Amino acid sequence: MSKPTQTAVNRRSFLTTGAAGAVAAGAGVTEVAAQGTITWDQTADVVIVGAGVAGLPAAITARDLGASVIVVDGNYDIGGRGMLSGGRVQLGGGHALQQKFNIKDTADQVFMDWVRHDDGESRYSDRDLVRVFADENVSTYQFLLDNGVEFIEKPIGPVDASTLPRIFVTKEWHIPAEVVAPHRARNGSGLVRRLTESARKKGATILLKHRMTRIIREQPMAGRVLGIEVKTPDRTINIRATKGVIVATGGHTGNVNFRRMFDPRLTEEYQQACEPYVSQDAGGELAAMDIGASLWATAIQTTETGAAITKTRHIGCRWGYSSLVYETDSVMFPQAKATGLTVKDWQDVIMVNQFGKRFWDENDDSHNFFNAAMAYSGDKSKLNGGGPIWAIFDVDGAAREKWNTKPPNVDPDGWFYSADTLSELAGKIKSQYQKQPMPGTALADTVTRYNTFVAEGVDKDFKKKTPMFKIEKPPFYAAWATPILHDALTGLRTTTDAQVVDTRGQVIAGLYCAGESQGGFAQHGLARCLVFGRVAGRHAAKNSA
């Protein structure tokens, strides 16, 4: 079978034809009574949820092996977070481009690096998964080249747990209007657009605005996975997967309830780095867990080494993640509403919590800073989470940073305020996350105290290195600067073939997972998603269901 087919089958007849494999007929029949009849609107060998960094290589790999492929994506366009990424791909093992720069790498070295005990980013990983990752690095790099992905020939590194330069950056997509966040080196756009081109050319069907809402298994907690339920803009359909369903939905950090399983501090005020283009809403994890799937290596989410949470670099807008700015000509600008003010030097601002109090050294960008920002703020109505964090500065600070404090640089609708005096500024701050007004005297007192630290050159409260500038000259500004969430570092448990495993340690036949929704390997970003996307696509295509 090579092309998806439109079929409508009665679930009972489907089960009784024996296509369900090893499931006992009795159990299947009972289950039919419990779940009713399923009408399949479409069928393919391999059905992939998510046309992002893991889903696209899964689709191509499965097609290369002759399987028919349907990819569904809830978004209006492909790429997921990969579209917004910097395109820094950390693959090694001694691939062609590494060789060109005389970087002597091996699969074993990749493995040894990413299981290092002395690095928090590698320590907690499932070494069986890391071994597969290491062994698939060179072939994955070649796979990218074979499918049209272009790289800038400049090695970067070593970074993270790596001991050798392994990062090469993909070339940005050449049509700015299709980059989503143009003019900002979103080189990952080239990666996902090229892979999409190739996937389509090879005959994969990509259905946009198709959101998976349920994974259909023979029985709620037993038997094979049969397909998925999908919401389209106008209806709900069922897509049957004869060989496998691959969850490549990109992680969970946008789902407040889900992320708080790992860290109860992560309440609703923390925004998400990839919004508003895509949200990491844990849809894949939840659908899989509903049919029995397990999470894996959950410690990784909270090791305080990776980028689960990051400092806001563009302040005064809702989404100010380090590398992501939606300029006014971005298709996302109408939702993002502001580009933000990019902080060059944290000496130019102080940061205060919702009560107008400083909480840490503004220069620090370690997890010590995040821990202080998320500390109990004194809000008796909300004990978890640290509440909003605001950057406070004066007109001189804005001048030093060369900021224009007007829209479209800032969003005055909840994320940026200005006033003639500090106490007036405190009173003006209104945010859906600021549960009570900031006390004006508290903010003024904080600034007065900080100004004495500037005069003396010593921060007696938080040891900011030689506090440089007083905040005294009107007008005064408050800009949203609450830390912003980034990576999902844990997810569904899988085998080394990317087959999802249930809470009893049993493989869920016909269900796969790759990308940030997969648990077990702490590496940041693209490389692990690409590798395990291929692994999942390959195994699913070969699956003799």
Partner 1 sequence: MTEAVTAAEPARHAASLAVWDIPAATTAGEHFAVKVGAKSSGGCGLGGCRVDVLDSAGAVLASGQLGAEPWPGTDALFWSEIELCAPSAPGLMPLAVRFSADGLVEPHDSGASPFHVAVVAAPDHVLTVTVAAAGSPVADAIVRAGPIRATTDETGRARLHLAKGRHEIAVWKTGYDAPITPLTVEADATLRVEAKVLPEHDPDAISTRTRSGRRELRVVGAGPNRSQAMTDDALPDRLCNNPNSPHYNEQVLSRDVGIRFNGKEKTNVEEYCISEGWIRVAAGKALDRYGNPLTIKLTGAVEPYFRDKTEG
Ligand X SMILES: Cc1cc2nc3c(=O)[nH]c(=O)nc-3n(C[C@H](O)[C@H](O)[C@H](O)COP(=O)(O)OP(=O)(O)OC[C@H]3O[C@@H](n4cnc5c(N)ncnc54)[C@H](O)[C@@H]3O)c2cc1C
| Residues in contact with partner 1 by the rule CB under 8 A | 85-86, 88, 113, 116, 118-120, 156, 158-160, 163-164, 185, 304-307, 309-311, 313, 322-323, 344-345, 347, 363-368, 370, 394-395, 419-424, 427, 440-441, 444, 448, 451-452, 455-457, 463, 466, 468, 470, 472-476, 487, 524-525
Give which of ligand X, partner 1, none residue 366 binds (C-beta under 5 to 8 Å, depending on kind): partner 1
* Cβ nearer to ligand X, comparing 310 with 405: 310
Based on the shown chain and the rule CB under 6 A, indicate whether residue 483 belongs to the binding site for ligand X: no
Two tokens at 300? 């990784």
Binding of residue 55 to ligand X (CB under 6 A) = yes
Q: How far is CA 240 from CA 78, 228, 509, in A?
A: 22, 7, 14
Residue nearer to ligand X on the CB measure, 312 or 431: 312
Query: Minimum Å distance from CB 459 to partner 1?
Result: 12
* Structure token digits, residue 285: 């994890």
Q: Residue 299: what are its φ and ψ, rounded to 5°?
A: -60, -30
Interacting stretch for ligand X, rule CB under 6 A, among 19-27, 110-118, 470-478, 522-530?
522-530
Binding mask 108-147 for ligand X (x = CB under 6 A): ----------------------------------------
Question: What is the closest distance, in whole angstroms, from the C-beta atom of residue 421 to partner 1 in the complex?
Answer: 4
Give least dist CB 286 to ligand X, A: 9
**Is 190 among the residues that bind ligand X (CB under 6 A)?**
no
Binding mask 323-362 for ligand X (x = CB under 6 A): xx--------------------------------------
Q: Is 232 in the site for ligand X (CB under 6 A)?
A: no
Consecutive H or E run containing 88: strand 88-90
- Binders of ligand X among residues 77 to 106 (CB under 6 A) are 80-82, 84-88
Q: With CB cut-offs between 5 and 8 Å by kind, which of ligand X, partner 1, none does residue 506 bind? A: none
In a 13 Å sphere around the CA of 14, the CA atoms on its Cβ side amount to 24
Decide if residue 316 touches ligand X (CB under 6 A). no
- Contacts by residues 374-383 (CB-CB < 8 Å, ≥ 24 positions apart): 374/265, 374/266, 374/483, 377/353, 379/354, 379/355, 379/435, 379/436, 381/435, 381/436, 382/267, 382/435
Centroid of chain to Cα 99 = 31
Per CB under 6 A, which region of 124-132, 278-286, 449-457, 505-513 contacts ligand X?
278-286
H helices present in 297-439, as ranges:
333-336, 367-373, 395-401, 422-428
CA–CA dist 223, 34 (Å, integer): 14
Vertex 65 angle, CA 238 and 50, to 5°? 40
HEC letters along 457-473? CCCCCCCCCCCCCCCCC
CB 454 within 8 Å of CB 348: no
Shortest Cβ 461–partner 1 spacing (Å): 14
Q: CB 467 → partner 1: shortest distance, Å?
A: 10
Q: How far is the CB of 316 from partner 1 (least distance, A)?
A: 17
Q: What angle do CA 48, 51, 53 make, to 5 degrees?
A: 110
- The 3-class secondary structure across 378-410, one letter per residue, is CCCCCCCCCCCCEEEEEHHHHHHHCCCCCCCCC
Q: d(Cα 213, Cα 237) in Å, to the nearest integer?
A: 10
Burial of 219 (0-12, 13-18, 19+ CB in 10 A): middle
Q: Minimum distance between the CB of residue 432 and ligand X, rounded to whole angstroms?
A: 23
Footprint of ligand X on this chain (CB under 6 A)? Answer: 49-55, 72-75, 80-82, 84-88, 188, 211-212, 248-251, 273-274, 278, 283-284, 321, 323-324, 515-517, 524-526, 529
